[in-house]
Structure 1
Amino acid sequence: MSRARPAALASVRFGTGLVPGDAPRDGAALLASLAAPDAIRAAHPGLDLATARDMALSVGAARRAGREDAAAGQTMADAAQEAIYRAGVQTYRTALARYVGGPAPLRERLTWFWADHFTAVPKNPARALLLDDYLDAAIRTHLTGRFADLLTAAVTHPLMLLYLDQAVSVGPGSRVGQSRGRGLNENLAREVLELHTLGAGGGYGQADVRQLAELLTGLTYSDRRGARFRPGAAEPGAETVLGRSYGGDGRAALSDIHAVLADLSVHPATARHLAGKLAAHFVADPPDPDLAAAVAATWARTDGDLMAVYAALVQHPAAAAPELRKVKPPFDFQASALRALGVDAAAVAALDDRTLNRHFRRTQRRMGQDFMRAHGPDGWDEAPEAWINPQGLASRIQWAMAVPSRLRPDLPDPRRFVVDALGPLAGARLSWAASAAETRKEGVALVLAAPEFNRR
């Protein structure tokens, strides 16, 4: 094996793909990049929470204005909806620019791993305004710290509270529950245990779900008042989750919720569940048992120190297995293609709404992935067949033929492009096919549609 292959493999498996003129980074360099400030976030900021709330409130303001003056109300409503639509496109533009140009490729991959692990789907365009803050304040801010902090930030974020109906969950015995007849919703509690921490078969039962749901009552969100904890809506008394009691010493407190999440974050079942999921996502599904065990042991030893966990994952011998057994999801496929073509973050940021919608968001949906809208709280499927199926593969080939020349009229020579895009990961047959292509357009498409480029 050449010296270049391990670095190229790491850049594809744990990074965002190769870039012309940049040397591939090995695992140690990818890990080291996480210690630097999040420069790409600063260069391409997302919509802040305060602005998102104001924009959502403008819809209600237009509705109220319409009661007094229908024409004026409609004008306000149209303006509000247009602003919300454009903000949604900008969220996608920002995400794509960061992935393409981020100086810490592993940070981008981890952002999307954790965003999928903590899937929170906006229920309407106004709720999609919260996506930027969710990705930034909940995910990116905490992905190099302790899992307890990441878990708490994601579970208590407004987008999650709204997605899983926690914002309307009320303790049946609380003052609000007694006076308004509102009841308990177990959605968030169930997903915290089954998906976010312990995993299915993690040793919890329905009683734990019910008790955690009661403990989570009081968490709520409104555009007018923001995310907050309402003691009057929280179920009175102590709750017992996995044999440990929380609260009950007086007035319900947010600290009780933080305490149970901290305990769940270091539970042995959580370590096993998350270790297996990380190994399956980045290396192979099903995961290598030794790799998963090593990551779980590091999780347990460090109480969920994520930097130590990532190091255990990236530096394990199984992480250097030569077989490319994972398939890039559509977003990653398109973004890594842009990187290989030399399209940088500034060029992505300059793309107009029509181009983004027509050549990226819509084609991504045809490939099987609607941006930040997984089909359920368990996120996107890890199986290769979820992406490489007749429709998905045909859509990738069509995209590879049609879009690169629109973004780069001066397409690279395919003989050079196969090296830029894959380096030593390109097989001899692909290199020959690229050199034999009749046109640059066909040659570039051959490389982008090849198994070597679509796998990692």
Structure 2
Amino acid sequence: MGFDPVRAEVRFGCGLSPKILAPNSVAAVIERLSGPDRVSEQYPISRYENMSGEVSQIRNLASRVRQAKRRGQDVSKLLKTQQGLKQALRFRTLIWMKQSLLRCVWTEDGFRERLVHFWYDHFSAPGKTLLTRNLVAPYIESAIRPHLTGKFGDLLLACVTHPHMLDYLDQTPSMGPASDAAVKRRLRGQSAGLNENLAREILELHTMGVSSAYSQGDVRQLAELLTGLTGNATKGFRYLPKRAEPGSEIIMQRIYGADGGLSDIENAMQDIAMEPATAVHISRKLAVHFITDLPSPSLVNAMSARYLETQGDLLRTYTAMLEHPDAWFEGRANYKRPVAFITSAMRALAVSEEIFDDWGRQLFYTNLAKPLQLMGQEWLRPGGPDGWEEEDGHWMSPQGLAARLQWSLAVPSVLVDSLPDPRRFVTSALGTSARPQTVYAVNAAQTRREGLALALMSPEFQRH
């Protein structure tokens, strides 16, 4: 099979839209992806580095509250101010969710939005505290989105040295056992330890994969190399030489540490990014996410070969995936995750930005955030650094299906001024994949509400 516009929008994009033309070739998909990121300007989300002032204000208030309590002072006014700032940040998080959904609804470059979701899943960092959990969207905006079409090594470095990731994987307090900082802390009777979390996840999740030929020794040596990396939402990224383990480290039979400082870490990330195991791991994950849980060896081999030939060029690796005939089989394979289901439904309904003008926190929560939780995919909050499950079976639970049905019956009428005619909607939303029995059931529905729900819950719409 070859390229098909409907499959391009459904399998590799955000779904069919009655307002936006599908791309007509692989070249068109790649051209859109390599062009300007217009939709991020249309629906902006704050970058992480622009949140430092707001986060500092919240943390400073928390410190003032603790100090006032120790002195026995009244803290009611401080608590009220602090709560107001936290509520404002939580509401901004809902606005960022809305902006992200609208990007999927109105983009002409659906592949880009799907890649953003894929790479956040790959470099998952949902945050450890109530405060940092509200900074995931800015992390994505600053660390992931700018590097979608560059070299994987640069994306890797941007993510694993980002303050949000460093905080989430406990890298900030890590220090080399023989470093100046560790020695001084032990002399004062304080603990000073090496944390291997970031190093382990780099090798196990981000690059080579769990079953690859690295050892616990490689994890330990990489963890020592990474000492010195620190950062948080208020001060940003920093490299502190006094926390770094002195001397050289041997990782995957390569020696690092001769130059000292951040450059050794940068070199190590680029080298690990070009390991053949990394090429296969990244290629297989992309194929599984976009195409099928069991991609063909031919497809994965073609992608990993292109990756290695081009020094980890992601744009050309995506091109290898899209050019391969196994990417375009008829039918639909992967079951949509909840976020993909809701965004493709909103796109099919052509939900306008104006519909959200009068929404408060409760409406965002009731109609979007809470349903995603019930479907099993809380917005930007996977259970850990390994991200969301890819296997179809995980998303086909009775509770998840019931939540999808409830959303399909109740929420579309809130998202548009007037529900479309289901007889036209089933064609525009499903395209050529609409089965006769689905069209018949939708046409026979008693109400528009029921007809739309039947189309959205059809097997064709539920899969990519």
Q: Same fold (TM over 0.5)?
A: yes
- Distance in 2 (alpha carbons) for counterparts of 1:177 and 1:188: 19
After TM superposition, give the deviation of residue 69 of structure 1 in Å: 5.2
- Distance in 1 (alpha carbons) for counterparts of 2:343 and 2:234: 36
Identify the match of residue 161 of structure 1 among 163, 166, 174: 166
Question: Does residue 1:270 correspond to 2:275, yes or no?
Answer: no
- Distance in 2 (alpha carbons) for counterparts of 1:144 and 1:315: 17
- Distance in 1 (alpha carbons) for counterparts of 2:198 and 2:324: 34
SS of the residue 1:141 aligns to? helix
Q: 8 Å contact 1:204–1:242 — kept in the other structure?
A: yes
Q: How does 1:218-367 map to 2 (within 5 A)?
A: 218-249=228-259, 252-345=260-353, 347=355, 351-367=359-375
Q: 8 Å contact 2:47–2:141 — kept in the other structure?
A: no
After TM superposition, give the deviation of residue 389 of structure 1 in Å: 1.5
Q: How does 1:105-144 map to 2 (within 5 A)?
A: 105-144=110-149
After TM superposition, give the deviation of residue 28 of structure 1 in Å: 2.8
* Alignment gaps of 5+ in structure 2: 186-190
Q: For each residue in 1:60-83, what CA deviation from the matched residue of structure 2 results, as whole angstroms up to 9, or x when unmatched?
A: 322343316523322321222222
Q: 8 Å contact 2:164–2:232 — kept in the other structure?
A: no
After TM superposition, give the deviation of residue 351 of structure 1 in Å: 4.2
Q: For each residue in 1:215-272, what CA deviation from the matched residue of structure 2 results, as whole angstroms up to 9, or x when unmatched?
A: 11111113442211001001111111000001134xx311111100000111100001
Q: 8 Å contact 1:154–1:160 — kept in the other structure?
A: yes
Aligned to 1:206: 216
Aligned to 1:90: 95
After TM superposition, give the deviation of residue 409 of structure 1 in Å: 4.3
CA-based RMSD of the aligned residues comes to 1.7
- Distance in 2 (alpha carbons) for counterparts of 1:417 and 1:121: 36
Q: 8 Å contact 1:185–1:213 — kept in the other structure?
A: yes
Q: 8 Å contact 2:163–2:233 — kept in the other structure?
A: no
Aligned to 2:406: 398
TM-score, normalisation: structure 1: 0.95
Structure 1 stretch displaced more, 232-241 or 88-97: 88-97
Q: 8 Å contact 2:169–2:198 — kept in the other structure?
A: yes
After TM superposition, give the deviation of residue 348 of structure 1 in Å: 5.2
- Distance in 1 (alpha carbons) for counterparts of 2:64 and 2:98: 32
How many residues end up aligned between the 2 structures? 452
- Distance in 2 (alpha carbons) for counterparts of 1:264 and 1:256: 12
- Distance in 1 (alpha carbons) for counterparts of 2:82 and 2:181: 33
- Seen in structure 2, the aligned counterparts of structure 1 residues 347 and 309 have a Cα distance that, compared at 3 Å, is farther
AA aligned opposite 2:432: P
After TM superposition, give the deviation of residue 40 of structure 1 in Å: 1.2
- Distance in 1 (alpha carbons) for counterparts of 2:178 and 2:151: 34
- Distance in 2 (alpha carbons) for counterparts of 1:351 and 1:30: 34
AA aligned opposite 1:150: L
Question: Does residue 1:44 correspond to 2:43, yes or no?
Answer: yes
After TM superposition, give the deviation of residue 96 of structure 1 in Å: 1.3
Identify the match of residue 8 of structure 2 among 3, 10, 13: 10
Aligned to 1:215: 225
Q: 8 Å contact 2:273–2:312 — kept in the other structure?
A: yes
- Distance in 2 (alpha carbons) for counterparts of 1:343 and 1:242: 50
Aligned to 1:104: 109
Structure 1 stretch displaced more, 78-87 or 102-111: 78-87
- Distance in 2 (alpha carbons) for counterparts of 1:260 and 1:31: 30
- Distance in 2 (alpha carbons) for counterparts of 1:40 and 1:23: 16
After TM superposition, give the deviation of residue 36 of structure 1 in Å: 1.6
Identify the match of residue 204 of structure 2 among 187, 194, 208: 194
Q: 8 Å contact 2:157–2:266 — kept in the other structure?
A: yes
AA aligned opposite 2:324: H
Question: Does residue 1:371 correspond to 2:376, yes or no?
Answer: no
- Distance in 2 (alpha carbons) for counterparts of 1:370 and 1:21: 29
- Distance in 1 (alpha carbons) for counterparts of 2:112 and 2:313: 15
